[in-house]
């Protein structure tokens, strides 16, 4: 009996240790993503900020990392979709095609929204598997940029895909009017607060 209890306790502690390690690894992954994003903003060659703003830049503001905002989505791959245009912040149009409908559960609620492919990026070997995931939510205009946020995804091998809202970021036009940013379609609206990813830029 004692041995059985001992092994059970050891197994429980082992499971706890593995869970803690997984959480630590996950947080390290997100912090690395945040670090790389801040490095982009600090680099004049990639930053949407002005030279004056770069000199004062101390880092973007992020929500606390929360694994509850990392969800597995089931994809309904769409066939024979016609290209269409998405309006942008500068009144221009950008051409996309709907690649799939992503269905997932977030904070106990069921959602679905389209994932898009840019026709322009499809021509690039580096980005031909890139999926564009714009979205709006109930933090927009308060804690996050009023025009919504984006996520970068890649086409998976199967019909499931991890969507991590901790990697949600602001479009470049949140920092400067000199950019041409697609406006998230209405069907990509989430009727809840997504308290994950990048917060609003304090100077805008």
User: Whole-prediction pTM value?
Assistant: 0.87
Using one digit for the tens of pLDDT, what is the confidence trace for 4-46?
A: 444 444 444 555 454 555 678 999 999 999 999 999 999 999 9
The rounded mean pLDDT for the chain is: 90
Q: Say what the pLDDT of residue 40 is.
A: 96
Which has the closest alpha carbon to 127: 116, 136, 142?
Answer: 116
On whether the CB atoms of residues 137 and 103 are closer than 8 A, the answer is no
Supply 40's token pair: 């982009």
3-state secondary structure of 81: coil
- pLDDT tens per residue across span 118-167: 999 988 899 999 999 999 999 999 999 999 999 999 999 999 999 999 99
The model's confidence at residue 90, banded by pLDDT at 50, 70 and 90, is: confident
Residue 91 pLDDT: 82
Structural contact between residues 136 and 188, judged by C-beta atoms closer than 8 angstroms: yes
Torsion angle in degrees (nearest 10) through CA of 48, 29, 73, 61: -40
Rounded mean pLDDT, 172-200: 96
Closest CA to 117 of 182, 176, 69: 182
d(CA 58, CA 69): 26
| Residue 56 pLDDT greater than 60, yes or no | yes
Report CA-CA distances (Å) from 151 to 129, 169, 193. 14, 6, 16
Question: What average pLDDT does this structure show over 54-76?
Answer: 98
What number of other Cβ atoms are within 10 A of residue 23's Cβ? 12
Please, what is the end-to-end C-alpha distance for the chain in angstroms?
A: 65
pLDDT of 3 strictly over 60:
no
Instruction: Mean pLDDT check: name the lowest of 22-26, 51-55, 78-82, 102-106.
Output: 22-26
- What's the rounded Cα separation, in Å, for the pair 75 and 72? 10
Give me the residue label for tokens 């001992």. 6
What residue segments make up the domains of the chain, in order of their start? 1-59, 62-188
Q: What is the pLDDT of residue 36?
A: 97
> How far is the C-alpha of 156 from the C-alpha of 32, rounded, in Å?
22
> What would you report as the CA-atom Rg of the chain, rounded to the nearest whole angstrom?
20
Q: Of 83, 89, 82, whose CA–CA distance to 182 is shortest?
A: 89
Question: Six-digit token pair at 10?
Answer: 């050891």
Report the pLDDT value the prediction gives residue 65, as an integer from 0 to 100. Answer: 98
């Amino acid at each position: 009996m004692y041995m059985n209890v001992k092994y059970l306790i050891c197994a429980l502690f082992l499971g706890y240790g593995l869970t803690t390690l997984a959480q630590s690894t996950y947080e390290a992954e997100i912090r690395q993503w945040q670090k790389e994003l801040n490095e982009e903003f600090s680099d004049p060659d990639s930053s949407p900020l002005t030279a004056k703003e770069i000199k004062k830049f101390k880092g973007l503001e992020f929500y606390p990392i929360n694994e509850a905002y990392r969800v597995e989505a089931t994809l309904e791959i769409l066939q024979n979709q016609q290209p269409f245009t998405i309006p942008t912040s500068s009144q221009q149009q950008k051409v996309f095609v709907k690649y799939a409908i992503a269905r997932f559960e977030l904070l106990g609620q069921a959602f679905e929204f389209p994932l898009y492919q840019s026709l322009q990026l499809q021509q690039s070997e580096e980005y031909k598997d890139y999926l564009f995931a714009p979205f709006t939510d109930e933090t927009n205009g308060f804690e996050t940029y009023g025009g919504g946020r984006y996520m970068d995804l890649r086409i998976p091998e199967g019909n499931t895909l991890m969507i991590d809202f901790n990697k949600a970021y602001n479009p470049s036009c949140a920092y400067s009017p000199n950019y041409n940013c697609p406006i998230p379609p209405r069907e990509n609206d989430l009727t809840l607060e997504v308290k994950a990813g990048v917060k609003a830029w304090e100077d805008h």
